[in-house]
Amino acid sequence: MEAWRVETFLTLSLILTSLLASASASASNGDLLSHLSTFHAMVHEITPDQVYSMWLTVRAKAIAPVLQVVVWMCMVMSVMLVVEATYMALVSLGVKIIGWKPEKQYKWEAIGEDEEKGSSAYPTVLVQIPMYNEIEVYKLSIGAACGLTWPSDRIIIQVLDDSTDPLIKDLVKVECETWASKGVNIKYCERIDRKGFKAGALKKGMEFPYAQECDYVVIFDADFQPEPDYLNRTVPFLIHNPKIALVQARWDFVNYSMSLLTRIQKMSLDYHFKVEQESGSATFAFFSFNGTAGVWRVSAINEAGGWKDRTTVEDMDLAVRATLKGWKFLYINELRVKSELPTTFKAYCRQQHRWVCGAANLFKKMAWEIIIATEVSLVKKFYMLYSFFLVRRVVAPVVSFVLYCLVLPLSVLVPEVYLPIWGVAYIPTTLLFITAIRHPKSLHLMPFWILFENVMSLHRIKAAIVGLFETATFNEWIVTKKVGNNLKDTLDIPLLEKSKTKLRDKINLSELGFSAFLFFCASYNLAFGGTNSYYINLYMQATAFLVLGFNYVGTCYCASFH
């Protein structure tokens, strides 16, 4: 083994020497030629054993100490992460065990028509549907919104169309006119530009006089299809509890079985709703608005300062500002709204970039506002700053990538680095168990979920850095492509199917680069051994990066009009 290493370093030194000799041969400056020749001679005087000895010294004295500091930083962050996950899981399980229902904590009474008041007993509700070139789903969302059970004179459907395709704009406008001819109070709204993206559209929609006269506003993204009784199950909480600003429903997914990609996404989002949203609602009455499938009190939006487009998470921004004004939120796990998951890996990465980057950027912008807020308790401030923002939005993406995709593979090349077993084995196992107990029907997908999340950690840490340091793409917004009616009722699709994309989109260089790096580290560990053997784990990670590097995941059926 030692002989192989010496030969390797000898080969590298000879290559370097050859390059220097070539440079010196082409140099016209005599001094440069002389210096290069001298250096060439010095290199030849160094033996392979000396080169290898120098490498061992540099590795032990310079590289290992730096890497060890990173290891302990990752250990601290891992402990923060597992404590936070355990806390949320215990709260979520407690809610499930004791049978806690929102109706038990907050007053709720069904709205009944008064013979004297008639439909005026119902508050006026505005339903906003922001969309952008949503050719695949516009009929579904508009139809579902128009089918909501509510007095026709107490509901307004507002379609906020930012589409840039003239054909799609005409189709959406015709659909609105069709529903209007059936007696539905529906408004078609368009803007000259897309300033502020979704936040700008929602803000513009609220500026109309009829919108300001509404008591509550419901937001549905273009792929969301609420059940007819949605308003009857949510609005009463707002009517009878004046401190509640938001009632959030859970997302359901019509295409979750489409591919392995969509099934893994469902696992992650189910955990978000079952654990994060439910624990936040049950303890501090605070969680992030999911941007859709929620009912807002219009007065709370106005008091919080309205919609702002300073980040790509305008929903979280509004939720934090409303909380700082003393408002409470309620999450209803039993109420589900149908929606759609991204069907290609690139679409999912763009969505995750928007969410992670925006959240990190919002943390940077609002940390001081949270600290100086006067209408929020110290405990709630700590929860918002530490748990909600720091641990979940910064620590989670950083430790997932740095520890498992950088430090662990590098440790096989630098054996002087000590990795505590509790940090690289016990904590990940605990986190896996916490996730698995809420997904008993998806245990067979857990290995795929773990490997996929390792790959996604690369994109999430990149997004978090972009958001924190506000680089060029920190406010980039790319709308997720939908499938809609092109989704077949019966799908005969293998779990791993190559995405049908253009040639330039078929290769993800960052994933392929990390795959090569992990394959090298795994092979080095297998060949030379060492104090720890991680090569099985590293080979699996490398394979996952390789598969996603070539886009061998997900599938997509999108309509084409050109």
Dist CA 242 CA 240 (whole Å)? 6
Dist CA 210 CA 125 (whole Å)? 10
Q: What does each C-alpha distance from 326 to 193, 332, 369, 532 come to in angstroms?
A: 34, 20, 14, 52
Dist CA 553 CA 345 (whole Å)? 7
Which DSSP letter does residue 376 get?
A: S
Active site residue 223: no
Q: Are 261 and 345 in contact (CB under 8 A)?
A: yes
Q: Are 255 and 487 in contact (CB under 8 A)?
A: yes
Catalytic residue, from 161, 162, 270, 317: name it.
Answer: 162
CA 494 to chain centroid: 25
Active site residue 315: yes
Catalytic residue, from 223, 252, 270, 315: name it.
Answer: 315
Considering only CA atoms, which of 164, 161, 166, 204 is closest in space to residue 186? 161
The residue written with tokens 């060890």 in the block is 68
Provide DSSP, 43-108. Answer: HHHS-HHHHHHHHHHHIIIIIHHHHHHHHHHHHHHHHHHHHHHHHHHHHHHHHHHHT--HHHHS--
Q: Are 364 and 467 in contact (CB under 8 A)?
A: yes
Residue 405: Cβ-neighbour burial (10 angstroms; 0-12, 13-18, 19+): buried
Dist CA 191 CA 202 (whole Å)? 11
List all residues 6 or more positions away from 382 whose beta carbon is below 8 Å from its beta carbon.
none
Q: Are 157 and 145 in contact (CB under 8 A)?
A: yes
Dist CA 370 CA 387 (whole Å)? 13
Task: Return the number of other C-beta atoms located less than 10 Å from residue 223's C-beta.
Answer: 24
Q: Which residues are catalytic?
A: 162, 315
